[in-house]
Amino acid sequence: MLGRSLILAGVAALAGAAPPAMAQCRLCDSPTTAEEDRQSDIPLELTIDADLDFDRLLLASAGSGSARLAPDGTRLASGAIASIGGRAMVARVAVRGAPGRAVSIDLPERVELIGLKGGRIVIERLISDLPRDPTLDSSGALIFRVGGELRLDGEADGEFRGSLPIAVDYL
């Protein structure tokens, strides 16, 4: 009977509202037990799960036009661009770090794409579904999508590639 009451008392202590006590680091220069100190040591990690890809653009005529690929996958073509290919994809970006921390995410205003044959086209505007104040969730993750608006002036032919630099930092 004594063994049973000790077990119940132990379970009641674990079920209380107070968090368990943290052990002090004896190897650190300045020992601490604060949760925030440990979380600030978690580095931010940025991964691109899917690339921004406009696939193929079908040109109706020579001249200028634009192709818009929204973060939700919506496609809009105007001007000389008749349509955007069916395999066009928005970029999917994952940020991982300390749970609950606010982050600053900077996307470039425009991205220049260079053709394999030497031509150039520009994504004039990047569009994301980032929240107004980006914060990592309780598991330390934030996933967002990036689309853009590509402007085409004149005739462009071939495959174009470029880099999308994204800067992420804790606030």
Higher-confidence residue: 22 or 121?
A: 121
Tens of pLDDT along 124-156? 999 999 999 999 999 999 999 999 999 887 667
Tens of pLDDT along 23-32? 555 555 555 5
Tens of pLDDT along 49-107? 999 999 988 888 888 899 999 999 999 999 989 999 999 999 999 999 999 999 999 99
CA angle 6, 11, 13 (to 5 degrees): 95
Structural domains of the chain, with CATH? 43-170 (2.60.40)
Considering all CA atoms of the chain, what is the largest pairwise distance in Å, rounded to the nearest integer? Answer: 90
Exposed, middle or buried: residue 74 (CB in 10 Å: 0-12, 13-18, 19+)?
exposed
What pTM was estimated for this model as a whole?
Answer: 0.73
Given this model, what pLDDT does residue 158 score?
Answer: 81
Cβ 148 vs Cβ 125: under 8 Å: yes
Cβ 147 vs Cβ 71: under 8 Å: yes
Given this model, what pLDDT does residue 19 score?
Answer: 45
Given this model, what pLDDT does residue 26 score?
Answer: 56
User: How far lies 40's CA from each of 1, 67, 82, 89, 133, in Å?
Assistant: 47, 41, 49, 34, 19
